[in-house]
Amino acid sequence: MKHLKQLLNPYKGLPKEVYVIFIARIINALGCFVMPLMTIILKDSIGLSDQLAGVYISAVGLLFLPASMLGGKLADTIGRKKVIVFFDCMAALFYIICSFMAPSMKMIYMIMAAAACLVTAGPAHDSLMADITTPKNRESAYALSYMGWNLGFAIGPFIGGMLYENHLPLIFLGDAFTALLSLSLVILFIKETIHKAEEEITDESRALERREEGSIFAVLAKRPVLVYFALIIFGFNFVYSQWSFLIPLHMLEKFPAHKAEYYGSLASFNGLIVILFTPLVTYYFQKSKSIRRMVYGGGLYAIGFGMLGLFNGLAHFFVSAFIFTLGEILLAISTAPFIANHTPASHRGRMSAVIPMIFGMGQTLGPIGMGQILNYASIELAWLLMGCVGIVFTILMFILEQQEEKKCFRAIEKQGC
């Protein structure tokens, strides 16, 4: 009991809005049916080739660029809550439309439209969380939000996998219903927070969060570490994108009769590991700097994904998921706080669009890149390549950490190091 209380200590005393977000994310993830099964829907239901499926998944990622920029600008001008409500409602509407459609190219376009709406709302969600937290409680708040998502995600994809074969319309309806139910909590219990971005920050430990004038690019010019950081996370995301692309294809090849069921179970296992281990990881790494945790996370990506090139029985997929999920936890609880702690309050929406847009390209290019690689290499060789990519970017993150420590030591950039 004592140890349990210690594990829960980081989550005590947070703003009440954080707990509302925690519950809302559980509900939303409980109905997360569509995106985890995207590759299988494109290939198995609609009949696209591996290469063309990769193209369309990457096309969804390309929509993220203008959608994210629009969402960031709107979040910094008209407010966080308005953006969240409008675009999340639109995403749910597109999913409802999909539920009345037969699998076809038109269905793909509706799914893409829904994804674009969700991405447009993304910077507003991130900005809202940054508004209601400080560097002292930010990592715990983001970790709790991340854990909430995975509490639902441990069940959602499993249900989606069971529904897929005979009840495809329910996948879209369920996703839309839980999204709207989750959104209702935000509408009822969370007030607009954009005014917090206009408050003067006097705490010297938060000097990098003080308001600044000028464009987002002018701000980035003063904080090049964010650009280098984003480019390295790009590499990690390139590897991690294979979780939703190459793993389903590998399962489709090895277990054709149970592909959706097994993948849904694996996705639920991923969520279960997050639930069980996020408190442990948060507690035991609470004294480590964010950037050092990301070095460890990248190394776990390299091992977890790379091993599938050598071992790929059903049990090995679960071992792999355990390893890379630990890396996912480390990166998830460190990435957003690192960005927020280096971002002026006046530019939170736009920074929450631009930086994730850079590293999000890893998710975008991962499927299309892997689709091309599979024209010349086996899936096993592709996994070994992903392990090597993970190692390279882990080394780059370690180098960035060393450079940041030198800056701190020289007192050139004391705040936020």
6-55 residue pLDDT tens: 777 778 889 999 999 999 999 998 888 887 777 778 877 888 787 787 78
The per-residue pLDDT for range 317-334, each reduced to its tens digit, is 999 999 999 999 999 889
User: Residue 164 — pLDDT band, cuts 50, 70, 90?
Assistant: confident
Cα(236)–Cα(240) distance, integer angstroms: 6
Cα(250)–Cα(254) distance, integer angstroms: 6
* Average pLDDT over every residue of 288-309: 93
Q: What angle do CA 106, 178, 337 make, to 5 degrees?
A: 100
Residue 412 has a pLDDT of 42
Residue 413 has a pLDDT of 45
**% residues pLDDT > 90 (the chain):** 33
Of 377, 253, 46, nearest in space to 369 by CA: 377
Contact call for residues 259 and 252 (beta carbons, < 8 A):
yes
User: Residue 403 — pLDDT band, cuts 50, 70, 90?
Assistant: confident
User: Residue 366 — pLDDT band, cuts 50, 70, 90?
Assistant: confident
Cα(59)–Cα(42) distance, integer angstroms: 13
Residue 244 has a pLDDT of 82
According to the 3-state scheme, what is the secondary structure of the chain? Answer: CHHHHHHHHHHCCCCHHHHHHHHHHHHHHHCCCCHHHHHHHHHHHCCCCHHHHHHHHHHHHHHHHHHHHHHHHHHHHCCHHHHHHHHHHHHHHHHHHHCCCCCCHHHHHHHHHHHHHHHHHHHHHHHHHHHCCCCCCHHHHHHHHHHHHHHHHCCHHHHHHHHHCCCHHHHHHHHHHHHHHHHHHHHHHCCCCHHHHHCCCCCHHHHHHCCCCCCHHHHHHHCHHHHHHHHHHHHHHHHHHHHCCHHHHHHHHHCHHHHHHHHHHHHHHHHHHHHHHHHHHHHHCCCCCHHHHHHHHHHHHHHHHHHHHCCCCHHHHHHHHHHHHHHHHHHHHHHHHHHHHCCCHHHHHHHHHHHHHHHHHHHHHHHHHHHHHCCCCCHHHHHHHHHHHHHHHHHHHHHHHHHHHHHHHCCCCCCCC
Sorted by where each starts, the structural domains of the chain and their CATH numbers stand as 16-187+214-409 (1.20.1250.20)
Token digits of residue 134: 């400080």
Residue 40 has a pLDDT of 78
Cβ neighbors of 13 (< 8 A, separation 6 or more) are 137
CA dihedral 168, 169, 173, 176 (to 10 degrees): 70
User: Residue 182 — pLDDT band, cuts 50, 70, 90?
Assistant: very high
User: Residue 410 — pLDDT band, cuts 50, 70, 90?
Assistant: low
* Average pLDDT over every residue of 80-102: 94
Predicted TM-score (pTM) of the model is: 0.77
Cα(305)–Cα(390) distance, integer angstroms: 9
Residue 9 has a pLDDT of 79
CA dihedral 110, 61, 249, 258 (to 10 degrees): -40
Q: Is the pLDDT of residue 390 over 90?
A: yes
* Average pLDDT over every residue of 333-343: 86
Q: Which range has the worst mean pLDDT, 171-185, 242-256, 402-416?
A: 402-416
Of 289, 284, 290, nearest in space to 7 by CA: 284
Cα(371)–Cα(352) distance, integer angstroms: 29
Residue 207 has a pLDDT of 62
Higher-confidence position of 85 and 209: 85
Residue 3 has a pLDDT of 62
Query: How confident is the prediction for the chain on average, in pLDDT?
Result: 85
Sign of CA dihedral 378, 382, 384, 385: positive
Residue 404 has a pLDDT of 74
User: Residue 243 — pLDDT band, cuts 50, 70, 90?
Assistant: confident
* Average pLDDT over every residue of 139-165: 82
User: Residue 407 — pLDDT band, cuts 50, 70, 90?
Assistant: low
Residue 417 has a pLDDT of 45
The per-residue pLDDT for range 95-111, each reduced to its tens digit, is 999 999 888 888 888 98
Residue 238 has a pLDDT of 94
Q: Which range has the worst mean pLDDT, 169-173, 309-313, 344-348?
A: 344-348
Q: Is the pLDDT of residue 92 over 80?
A: yes
Q: Is the pLDDT of residue 114 over 60?
A: yes
